[in-house]
């Protein structure tokens, strides 16, 4: 069963099933749903897992959660991992003696969002069909959630998707992945503003009464596919477990020995998955958080302050981490300090743009997390350094090397999450390799990297440049409600 991070308002049910939590992701007082209890995975589970493949381990963990979705549907959902590049959707690649990369980007849209959104999309559409209810999914994207959401829901029954992206805030490849999407049930809208503007616009819509009334008239319910939706988080626990299983299989450590999990973080969904995996029993020594110069998470974890005052969102070469309001932090605050305190902090953030942990609370947080931030120069140098040694990493993944360099205290293996393929951020890649600041188009940069590093551009990326643009609206935030209502009519 699922409970709420800000406590219950006496109007909603105090506990809900998984299917309810994923279809109706916003809880009382604007809170989020979290599992009442986390299942345990013990060493025996991990030992047995070394004989299993990714899909089997996923089904085992889902079974431990005992969610109200039929096993046959879960099986269909995880079979979507068959469309990923390799037999194993998440290869673990060694890049240093004690450093391994968990490559999470081998899905259809070349970023780790596919890991959760592919199976989640299937489940959501199944529940909607079963209820015989149409749903509108609102998604705000800084570049990777959008393509992955559109891909998973394209032509799915009982689902319509409206996807908001910050115009100019994504790469050409990411934008093309969205605006060339064919499904008739999809609407893609560019917003004048940054990602926080897009996410806030989405939150405002989710809370808007007039919008809700219009939807009701048309008998459409609202849902969301951002990582506030626990249906995504549940799938983000699994690849952390699988990384450990891969380390065991490759004889890099023995059963029960600990490792560092390094996560490049924005909205904190990936890191939350690691936190839950640790709580469930995965031998994680600590979760090392890498942020970029939008270092709000680093400040929280090192100083106990979440301070939006005098802060502006800065554009970096890791745009998927250009976030100041990091939604999933709330789930950790709830887990550590309880609903009353969590609600208090979230209200302080809303009203005063600020909250502060006590020393005791900070100590509690630091038992599980350390954090550091990485600027663009460091990230680009890292990209070049590893390219020289024949490993290509994208600018988000590169921020993790700062965490690897600065935060480890013990001599144990580290796994870092690689969250995107280099092809999504080719201009930055070429700047890093050429050590210049020229403004390349994605097309030129893809070719440049391909030639200088002798690597193939995947067909799906090349094909984007030939496709017809089907969504070309860029609008002011105030126009969003109207635009979406027109689409669903």
Residues that bind ligand PLP (CB under 6 A): 111, 113, 144, 227, 264-271, 320-321, 396, 419-420
For ligand PLP, the closer of residues 7 and 89 by Cβ is 89
Burial letters 28-58, b for 16+ CB under 10 A, else e: bbbbbbbbeebbebeeebbeebeeeebbebb
E strand spans, 75-218: 92-96, 99-103, 134-140, 159-166, 186-191
Half-sphere exposure of 429 (CA within 13 A, CB side): 31
For ligand PLP, the closer of residues 223 and 270 by Cβ is 270
For ligand PLP, the closer of residues 144 and 442 by Cβ is 144
Please report where in the chains the tokens 């935030």 appear, as a residue. Answer: 477
Closest separation in Å from C-beta 367 to ligand PLP: 20
**Residues 474, 468: contact at Cβ < 8 Å?**
no
For ligand PLP, the closer of residues 144 and 376 by Cβ is 144
Closest separation in Å from C-beta 264 to ligand PLP: 5
Quickly list H helices, 191-229: 195-207, 209-217
For ligand PLP, the closer of residues 158 and 177 by Cβ is 177
CA gap 191, 195 in Å, rounded? 9
For ligand PLP, the closer of residues 127 and 233 by Cβ is 233
For ligand PLP, the closer of residues 125 and 327 by Cβ is 327
**Residues 289, 370: contact at Cβ < 8 Å?**
yes
Query: Which residues, other chains included, contact 27 with Cβ-Cβ below 8 Å and sequence gap of 6+?
Result: 4, 5, 6, 12, 33
Please report where in the chains the tokens 């001599």 appear, as a residue. Answer: 411
Closest separation in Å from C-beta 1 to ligand PLP: 24
Closest separation in Å from C-beta 335 to ligand PLP: 17
Closest separation in Å from C-beta 212 to ligand PLP: 27
Closest separation in Å from C-beta 110 to ligand PLP: 9
The percent helix, strand, coil of the chain (3-state, each to 5) is 50, 15, 35
For ligand PLP, the closer of residues 173 and 245 by Cβ is 173
CA gap 168, 130 in Å, rounded? 39
Closest separation in Å from C-beta 428 to ligand PLP: 12
Would you tell me how many other CB atoms lie within 10 Å of the CB of residue 308?
A: 17
Closest separation in Å from C-beta 365 to ligand PLP: 16
For ligand PLP, the closer of residues 111 and 430 by Cβ is 111
CA gap 385, 56 in Å, rounded? 37
Please report where in the chains the tokens 């996807």 appear, as a residue. Answer: 163
For ligand PLP, the closer of residues 331 and 396 by Cβ is 396
Closest separation in Å from C-beta 330 to ligand PLP: 13
Distances (CA, A) of 265 to 49, 77, 309, 360, 409: 27, 26, 21, 24, 21
Closest separation in Å from C-beta 169 to ligand PLP: 13
Determine the 3-state secondary structure of 439 from DSSP: coil
């Amino acid at each position: 069963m699922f409970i709420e991070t800000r406590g219950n308002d006496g109007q909603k049910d105090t506990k809900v099933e998984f299917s309810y939590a994923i279809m109706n992701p916003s809880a009382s007082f604007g809170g989020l749903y979290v599992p009442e209890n986390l299942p345990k995975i013990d060493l025996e589970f991990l030992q047995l897992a070394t004989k299993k493949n990714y899909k089997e381990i996923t089904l085992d963990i889902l079974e431990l959660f005992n969610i109200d979705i039929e096993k046959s549907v879960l099986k269909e959902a995880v079979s979507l991992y068959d469309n990923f590049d390799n037999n194993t959707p998440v290869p673990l690649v060694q890049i240093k003696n004690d450093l391994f990369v968990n490559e999470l980007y081998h899905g259809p849209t070349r970023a780790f969002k596919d890991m959760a959104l592919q199976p989640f999309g299937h489940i959501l559409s199944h529940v909607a069909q079963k209820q015989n209810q149409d749903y509108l999914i609102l998604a705000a994207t800084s570049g990777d959630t959008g393509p992955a959401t559109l891909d998973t829901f394209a032509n799915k029954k009982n689902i319509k998707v409206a996807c908001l992206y910050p115009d100019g805030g994504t790469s050409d490849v990411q934008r093309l992945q969205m605006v060339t999407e064919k499904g008739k049930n999809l609407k893609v809208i560019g917003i004048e503003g940054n990602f926080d503007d897009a996410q806030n616009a989405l939150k405002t819509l989710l809370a808007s009464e007039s919008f809700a009334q219009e939807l009701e008239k048309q008998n459409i319910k609202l849902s969301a596919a951002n990582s506030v939706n626990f249906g995504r988080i549940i799938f983000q626990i699994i690849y952390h477990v699988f990384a450990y299983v891969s380390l065991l299989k490759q004889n890099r450590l023995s059963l029960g020995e600990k490792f560092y999990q390094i996560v490049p973080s924005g909205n904190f969904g990936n890191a939350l998955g690691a936190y839950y995996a640790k709580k469930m029993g995965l031998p994680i020594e600590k979760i090392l958080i890498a942020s970029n110069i939008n270092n709000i998470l680093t400040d929280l974890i090192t100083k106990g302050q979440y301070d939006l005052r005098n802060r502006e969102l800065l554009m970096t070469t890791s745009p998927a981490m250009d976030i100041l309001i990091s939604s999933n932090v709330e789930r950790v605050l709830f887990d550590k300090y309880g609903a009353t305190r969590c609600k208090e902090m979230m209200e302080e953030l809303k009203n005063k743009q600020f909250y502060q942990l006590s020393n005791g609370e900070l100590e509690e947080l630091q038992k599980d997390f350390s954090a550091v931030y990485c600027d663009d120069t460091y990230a680009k140098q890292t990209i070049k350094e590893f390219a020289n040694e024949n490993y290509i990493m994208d600018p988000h993944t590169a921020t993790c090397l700062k965490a690897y360099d600065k935060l480890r205290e013990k001599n144990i293996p580290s796994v870092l999450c690689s969250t995107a393929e280099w092809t999504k951020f080719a201009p930055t890649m070429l700047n890093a390799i050429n050590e210049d600041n020229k403004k390349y188009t994605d097309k030129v940069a893809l070719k440049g990297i391909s030639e200088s590093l002798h690597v193939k551009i995947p067909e799906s990326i090349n094909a984007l440049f030939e496709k017809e643009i089907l969504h070309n609206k860029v609008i002011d935030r105030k126009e969003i409600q109207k635009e979406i209502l027109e689409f669903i009519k």
